[in-house]
Structure 1
Amino acid sequence: MSSAADSSDRLEKRLGLVDVYAIATGAMISSGFFLLPGIAAGRAGPAVVLAYILSSLLMLPGLFSIAELSSAMPRAAGTYFFIHRSLGPWAGTVGGFGDWLTLTFKSAFALVGMGAYLAIFVDVPIQPVAIALTVAFGALNIFGAKETARLQLVLVVTLVTIMAFYIGQGLVEVVGEGAVATVSGAFTPFLPFGIGALASTIGLVFISYAGLTKVAAAAEEIRDLDRNLPLGMLLALGTIAFIYAGGVFVMVSVLPAEELYEDLTPVATAGEEILSWLPGQTGLILVVIAAIAAFASTGNAGILTASRYPLAMARDRLTWSGFDQVGRFGTPTVGILATCVLMIISILFLDVEALASLGSAFLLLIFALVNMSVIIMRESRTASYAPAFRSPFYPWTQIIGVISTLGLIATLGPFSIVFVLVVVGIATAWYRIYARPRVENRGAIYTLFARLGERQDAGIDEELWSILQERGASEEDSFDELVARAQVIDLPGKADMTEVIGKVAGVMRSQLQRGMQDLDEAITASGVRAVVPENASAVVHDLFLEDLEHPEVVLVRAKRGVRIGGGRRFPGSSGEPEADENGNGARVHALVFLFSPEGRVTQHLRLLAQLVTMVEHEAFPEVWRRAHDDQELLETLLRDERYASIVVGSPGPPSKMVDKRLYELTFPGNTLVAMVRRGDRTIFPKGDTLLRAGDRLTVIGSPADVVTLQGDASRHATGGGSGDVSGGGSRDAAGDGAAGTEEA
């Protein structure tokens, strides 16, 4: 099965929760706080504080939608990828170009703003400084996302610390003696320009939070994505909402309305007022440092995320293939260079501030499309769509998100609407002239059309399936424990599917709360959708059962092979596996049956993908055939880096295990003794299981814990050889014997 892109071109997973938080936080706070509050207050009056709060709440639908789509499709240039795979290549072209241009222009504007704040104390030309900063941040991005994230963290910590001090001091100032009456007067009347003005101001300041989802463009590089992305974005939104609302409250409280409405640097002006007790210009210096950190973090994060859009579009042949090149540092070098060149051109020749504002109107359209993408992906019922994080209150969250963002575009005025239409028109022309002859129409929307009687796109199923296989089972899925407790049926003689299904059903009935007498028929019916991996003598059946408490696996080895009657290459595919001249299906020697509790679709698909990945390995058939017993059969499906075999009584630490019960022994981390092979019996041990000399233990755990286990044995070995504690690797050495076996 082909994947969407060669694995060698994938970006390394270097970013953790703190990095996600830093990128999302840094991408949000710059002009929206340091330049915009005065303009926004001129529209809404004191209600500008409420506008910032409501805007942060309206970000939640987009945040939840981005998190869900990212957990199912973690790819560079996240929003582009989501829109393309759900709404098709035309919408993907519009979204990709629009996002790339607007992020580039907003990043350029941030660096111009940084130069302007530097000019407060140092007489320097703004444009050359902005260009130099573009080159510096571009070089940093080329050297690696992790290095970029480290700088981002420093900038964000500096910014948040100063802003917390600023807001805290401001609140002390406004609640001091006699200040309450002053503040009350500053907020009266609260809505001097009416509700309509408040609505338009919400649309204006919404752009202040638009950078929140920029981090989704780096989803391919995030570790533990299902947890770190939504949590990091929520923490960032909470932090920035507090800074915006608290900071603007202070500005409205301490600055006269007429002065605030015309001030392009209200943070600095208010800072001089509330920090006047500091010696000299210390207060102003602190504000300038915070502003520089904010603009730098926005420019830096903008280059990081914007450069991923041409990379992703090149993978889909919507742009020049050179953008798909990943450099020696594991970053999209060509995309970064192109982004920096475009930023320099915009700094030199364009009204960057106007373009940044208009670009934000297009970002609102992107948010609407992202919310629509979740609806399309779910309603298309694409078989391989398995998000680990699911947006709450679907579909109302997405419906509110679509309506609110489109409505906010309308409040920004006709010029913004025209700009959005112009960008859409240019992207459409590019798609028709350049991209359309090179790409297939692919998207979940065509699968939705199939439900309505129109054409279907099986390509999106195949691509999502390849992503599932690439990601594999998560830690929460406990895949290795599932395999270790699997039931094994070994059939040495001739057998047919009826016999196999009867034996599997007999094993599974003992796991069900109710007997389910029609289980044989249910398993037989599942055969038409069983996965028959290409070039593998195996078939993987999957079935949901209501009375099951947790997933279970049954393995069947048919030494003389079994003819199967149906199947598919991957979930959602319509192609049938090869058949002989009589119409009989393939002959397989490995039959894997996965049973999951009803409703656990995401976990079920991840486990199914991991099982198929294991049997697709080129060495699997030989290792499976040569396995001597149940334990070795089970080990063929364990991931090599997650298990080790120990012979009790061997030199080193295993010698101290003889005649010990498991609860008396200490193993590294959270490793688990999953199986014990004693003579011709496989034992599934408990804490009080007594170990005997010659027992062979299969120990499973995280890769780090398994390495520690092997290292401890190596350090204490006294000539017992490498067989005392062995790791996985059976699929890399099929010719040397069965999986994980060793000489005692």
Structure 2
Amino acid sequence: MQGNSRLKKELGLFDVFAISTGAMFSSGFFLLPGLASQYTGPSVFFAYLVSGIFILPAMFSIAEIATALPRSGGAYFFLDRSLGPLMGTIGGLGTYLSLVFKTAFAIIGIGAYAAIFWDVPVKMVAVAATMVFMGLNLIGAKKTSGLQNFFIVFLLVVLGMFIFDGLYTVFFTEKVEGPSMNEHFTPFFTNGIEGVITTAGFVFVSYLGLTKVASVAEEIKKPERNIPMGMLLSLVVTSAVYFLGVFIMVALIDPVQFANELAPAATATKLLFKWLPGDTGTYLMVGAAMAAFASTGNAGLLSSSRYPFAMGRDRLFPPKFTKVGKSGTPYLSILLTTGIILILILTVSEEGIAKIASAFQLFIFMMINFSVIVFRKSNIESYDPGYKSPLYPWMQVAGIFISLVLIIYMGWISVLFVLFVMTVSFLWYYYYAREKVKREGAIFHWFALLGKYQYSELENEFMVILKEKGLRQGDPFDETIARARISNIEREMNFEHLVDFVSETFSTEMHVSKEALVNEFLTTSAIEPALIIPEVSILYGKCEGVDHPSLHIVLSSRGIRKPVGKGGISSEDYIRVFFFLVNPPAESRQQLRMLSRLVDVIEREEFVEEMFDHKSHRKIKEYLLHNERFFSIRLLPGTEQAGMIGQPLKAVEWPSGVLVALIERDSETFAPHGDTVLQEHDVLTLIGEPKSLSRLFDKYLMQ
């Protein structure tokens, strides 16, 4: 891998909502409704709602995998790590091409709508817009999402006005000319249920913006919260706007004209906004359409450019595409994607794009739903989604069936396109990537449960991702450090005796089986290589009877020789710092998150030396806790905190979320309880939320 390949986490909840929503309001609202009505008639607005419901299984599956593995590449990364690099190549190249086609189509829409009012060449406007979006993407994802947020706010305001005025006009004003309302909606289903299903597949492309969130997951802050919430909000808002907006178009536009209408929103607007002067309403809708196409083009370039980046990182694409510029963006990948979009704009007709893009995405969604089943069945402990799909596995089975039915209903041309992309991807993998890739997907771990091969490095990679995600809200890492027992061993001791000593201590304190703990600590984990740091060892286990995480830290100035592997081979180095972590059996993933946070601490420069430099247990624990979530105060006469002296701890009022984790008294450190009476010269270590602690810091001077 060449150069720096880490992306900045800059995108928040509204950015996720804007990327997803902005990518869905273009052709789906401003172009397709009239064309889609040819398959089902007035019930086209109902077909949009059905399509939104059909995408729910894929949305839940994408949200689960994206919160477990927030990595660039979206569908590619999911399929590669679940089903292996061949399926990853098919999914990556196919989704990349689908997104690029849809992005080029959307950008052409900017030129088309601009031509309504100005005498400008459509494709030249599209080329200019593409160059603007390229510049924004090169600057950074946050700058790109800033423009995206502006587009989506303007778009939602105009569409909200359109729906409000449209519903008022349909239900509360009298129509003076044209066909009656009954004629607009009769017959409601022109081709029965088959027509609705065909239409739902045809307009499925309108909801593909949801996939774009997954492709930028690595750049999203707090992905476990923002990804599922942003996607759900986006789908709810989009489905409501499609359903109500297309209903208004059906109700206002002459049925014969509507079936051949390429700008139904603009046509419907001519019958609305009578309260605005002149053609202001039409200008607003055209502006909204251009904002929609621009947001789709902008979000499309942002998300699709992450596919070559992610595939390059995994050697399925030339590794030079992993280079990240000073602004934190994969500039070569952006330039490649821009070039392909420009070629498509200048050479390819737009006809059939909707069906082609929809068909391949349906195939990808089918595979993603299957991937959730694979990840769950693989029993990889470091697969730790912050959001889990409801109704597993029936939700995923339904998603697979829905995708298969919709592909069949969309016709043989769409099926041929899927087969063509699969063939090209297979040839690319076979002749370019196969010799460069030495990994397999989680499906091999599922096979391993049947006694077959598995790829152990996948667990290490998932552990690294888990480490980057950090702790989840409610994980008691700080409390566990505060309660930790620390032992200083000056005499010589072998590793087996150390494990026996620590297990005996845990057994006595928690009334659990010593033998079970010894076996847990002596068992080499499949992910242990990801946790090895010189002169430091982390051992961990789960035991029946343990009701909360517990940590024992052992410091050995002489060092203790620790065997490596199951064959009894000893390492060359002595271990000077040991961490023994015990968790309840049901909290294996919480244990991994806490271990990954511990590794973050251990990776500090001069960690071992710093641990031995701190002479008190309080100082050691504060060093391990060191972040914005703790500080210490000393109780001295004549200070703001002097009023606490002589008071039981429970009588002192602290801000919500603040805990007195440690008290150091006469060179001894202990975890207090509510009846502990505070004494002069006590040193209190407080942990809690940064905002609450900052208020205390302002009140008490740190001693």
Q: Quick check: TM above 0.5?
A: yes
Q: Which moved more, 1:256-265 or 1:472-481?
A: 472-481
Residue 234 of structure 1 and its aligned partner are, at CA, apart by 0.3
Residue 24 of structure 1 and its aligned partner are, at CA, apart by 0.8
Q: Which moved more, 1:175-184 or 1:639-648?
A: 175-184
Q: Which moved more, 1:76-85 or 1:133-142?
A: 76-85
Q: 1:611 corresponds to which letter in structure 2?
A: L
Structure 2 counterpart of 1:208, from 206, 209, 233: 206
| Structure 2 equivalent of residue 541 of structure 1 | 539
Q: Decide whether aligned partners of structure 1 residues 151 and 651 sit closer, same or farther in structure 2, where only a CA change above 3 A counts.
A: farther
1:17 aligns with 2:13: yes
Structure 1 counterpart of 2:404, from 398, 403, 406: 406
1:529 aligns with 2:524: yes
| Structure 1 equivalent of residue 72 of structure 2 | 76
Q: 1:374 corresponds to which letter in structure 2?
A: V
* Contact 1:491 1:558 (8 Å CA) reproduced: yes
What is the CA–CA distance in structure 2 between the aligned matches of 1:307 and 1:709, rounded to whole Å? 46
What is the CA–CA distance in structure 2 between the aligned matches of 1:26 and 1:206, rounded to whole Å? 15
Identity of aligned residues (%): 41
Counterpart mapping for 1:184-223 below 5 A: 184-223=182-221
> Deviation string for 1:671-708 (max 9, x for gaps)?
54321211132132346655444333333345677677
Residue 548 of structure 1 and its aligned partner are, at CA, apart by 3.9
What is the CA–CA distance in structure 2 between the aligned matches of 1:665 and 1:131, rounded to whole Å? 67
Structure 1 counterpart of 2:93, from 94, 97, 114: 97
| Structure 1 equivalent of residue 132 of structure 2 | 136
Structure 2 counterpart of 1:29, from 25, 30, 38: 25
Residue 471 of structure 1 and its aligned partner are, at CA, apart by 2.5
| Structure 2 equivalent of residue 235 of structure 1 | 233
Residue 535 of structure 1 and its aligned partner are, at CA, apart by 4.0
Q: Which moved more, 1:30-39 or 1:273-282?
A: 273-282
1:251 aligns with 2:249: yes
1:109 aligns with 2:105: yes
- Structure 1, unmatched stretches of 5+, are 567-574, 717-723, 726-744
Q: Decide whether aligned partners of structure 1 residues 119 and 699 sit closer, same or farther in structure 2, where only a CA change above 3 A counts.
A: same
| Structure 1 equivalent of residue 577 of structure 2 | 590
1:698 aligns with 2:682: no
Q: Decide whether aligned partners of structure 1 residues 355 and 46 sit closer, same or farther in structure 2, where only a CA change above 3 A counts.
A: closer
> Deviation string for 1:445-498 (max 9, x for gaps)?
222232233322112111111112223223431322221122334444444566
Counterpart mapping for 1:131-170 below 5 A: 131-170=127-166
Structure 2 counterpart of 1:47, from 43, 47, 56: 43
* Contact 1:388 1:602 (8 Å CA) reproduced: no
Residue 636 of structure 1 and its aligned partner are, at CA, apart by 4.4
Structure 2 counterpart of 1:372, from 355, 370, 373: 370
Structure 1 counterpart of 2:434, from 425, 436, 450: 436
Taking structure 2 as the reference length, what is the TM-score of the superposition?
A: 0.91
Q: Which moved more, 1:57-66 or 1:129-138?
A: 57-66
Counterpart mapping for 1:599-614 below 5 A: 599-614=586-601
| Structure 2 equivalent of residue 311 of structure 1 | 309
Instruction: Tell me the SS of whatever aligns to 1:47.
Output: helix
What is the CA–CA distance in structure 1 between the aligned matches of 2:100 and 2:504, rounded to whole Å? 62
What is the CA–CA distance in structure 2 between the aligned matches of 1:362 and 1:378, rounded to whole Å? 25
What is the CA–CA distance in structure 1 between the aligned matches of 2:145 and 2:325, rounded to whole Å? 18
* Contact 2:57 2:399 (8 Å CA) reproduced: yes
1:579 aligns with 2:564: no
What is the CA–CA distance in structure 2 between the aligned matches of 1:182 and 1:235, rounded to whole Å? 36
* Contact 1:182 1:253 (8 Å CA) reproduced: no
What is the CA–CA distance in structure 2 between the aligned matches of 1:328 and 1:562, rounded to whole Å? 44
Residue 297 of structure 1 and its aligned partner are, at CA, apart by 0.7
Counterpart mapping for 1:711-726 below 5 A: 725=703
Instruction: Tell me the SS of whatever aligns to 2:537.
Output: strand
Residue 230 of structure 1 and its aligned partner are, at CA, apart by 0.2
Residue 651 of structure 1 and its aligned partner are, at CA, apart by 9.8
Residue 292 of structure 1 and its aligned partner are, at CA, apart by 1.1
| Structure 1 equivalent of residue 334 of structure 2 | 336
> Deviation string for 1:296-315 (max 9, x for gaps)?
11011001111111111111
| Structure 2 equivalent of residue 280 of structure 1 | 278
What is the CA–CA distance in structure 1 between the aligned matches of 2:332 and 2:456, rounded to whole Å? 32
Q: Which moved more, 1:637-646 or 1:95-104?
A: 637-646
Residue 617 of structure 1 and its aligned partner are, at CA, apart by 4.5
What is the CA–CA distance in structure 1 between the aligned matches of 2:173 and 2:381, rounded to whole Å? 65
Structure 2 counterpart of 1:644, from 623, 631, 636: 631
Q: Decide whether aligned partners of structure 1 residues 183 and 664 sit closer, same or farther in structure 2, where only a CA change above 3 A counts.
A: farther
Q: Decide whether aligned partners of structure 1 residues 598 and 616 sit closer, same or farther in structure 2, where only a CA change above 3 A counts.
A: same
* Contact 2:360 2:418 (8 Å CA) reproduced: yes
What is the CA–CA distance in structure 2 between the aligned matches of 1:484 and 1:702, rounded to whole Å? 15
What is the CA–CA distance in structure 2 between the aligned matches of 1:263 and 1:511, rounded to whole Å? 76
| Structure 2 equivalent of residue 294 of structure 1 | 292
Instruction: Tell me the SS of whatever aligns to 1:318.
Output: coil
| Structure 2 equivalent of residue 171 of structure 1 | 167
What is the CA–CA distance in structure 2 between the aligned matches of 1:177 and 1:166, rounded to whole Å? 15
| Structure 1 equivalent of residue 54 of structure 2 | 58
Q: Which moved more, 1:155-164 or 1:519-528?
A: 519-528
| Structure 2 equivalent of residue 742 of structure 1 | none
Structure 1 counterpart of 2:609, from 622, 629, 646: 622
> Deviation string for 1:635-663 (max 9, x for gaps)?
34324454434444399867786667667
1:327 aligns with 2:325: yes
* Contact 2:203 2:354 (8 Å CA) reproduced: no
| Structure 2 equivalent of residue 684 of structure 1 | 671
Residue 79 of structure 1 and its aligned partner are, at CA, apart by 1.6
Instruction: Tell me the SS of whatever aligns to 1:274.
Output: coil
Greater length-normalized contact order (CA 8 Å, ≥ 6 residues apart): 2
What is the CA–CA distance in structure 2 between the aligned matches of 1:503 and 1:55, rounded to whole Å? 62
Q: Decide whether aligned partners of structure 1 residues 425 and 651 sit closer, same or farther in structure 2, where only a CA change above 3 A counts.
A: farther
Instruction: Tell me the SS of whatever aligns to 1:529.
Output: coil
Taking structure 1 as the reference length, what is the TM-score of the superposition?
A: 0.87
* Contact 1:536 1:616 (8 Å CA) reproduced: no
| Structure 2 equivalent of residue 731 of structure 1 | none
Q: Which moved more, 1:235-244 or 1:308-317?
A: 308-317
What is the CA–CA distance in structure 1 between the aligned matches of 2:427 and 2:298, rounded to whole Å? 31
Q: Which moved more, 1:586-595 or 1:460-469?
A: 586-595
Q: Which moved more, 1:164-173 or 1:692-701?
A: 692-701
Q: 1:679 corresponds to which letter in structure 2?
A: D
Counterpart mapping for 1:258-269 below 5 A: 258-269=256-267
What is the CA–CA distance in structure 2 between the aligned matches of 1:522 and 1:510, rounded to whole Å? 12
Residue 615 of structure 1 and its aligned partner are, at CA, apart by 3.7
* Contact 1:386 1:601 (8 Å CA) reproduced: no
* Contact 2:562 2:575 (8 Å CA) reproduced: yes
Residue 179 of structure 1 and its aligned partner are, at CA, apart by 6.8
> Deviation string for 1:262-318 (max 9, x for gaps)?
111111111112334533212211211211111111011001111111111111111
Residue 16 of structure 1 and its aligned partner are, at CA, apart by 0.8
| Structure 2 equivalent of residue 520 of structure 1 | 515
Q: 2:271 corresponds to which letter in structure 1?
A: E
* Contact 1:480 1:639 (8 Å CA) reproduced: no
> Deviation string for 1:555-594 (max 9, x for gaps)?
334555555566xxxxxxxx659823xxx99753433232
Structure 2 counterpart of 1:120, from 116, 123, 145: 116
What is the CA–CA distance in structure 1 between the aligned matches of 2:242 and 2:699, rounded to whole Å? 53
Q: 1:556 corresponds to which letter in structure 2?
A: V
> Deviation string for 1:511-553 (max 9, x for gaps)?
76xx44x343344244213547434334333333454443332
* Contact 1:501 1:524 (8 Å CA) reproduced: no
The aligned length equals 698
Q: Which moved more, 1:359-368 or 1:309-318?
A: 359-368
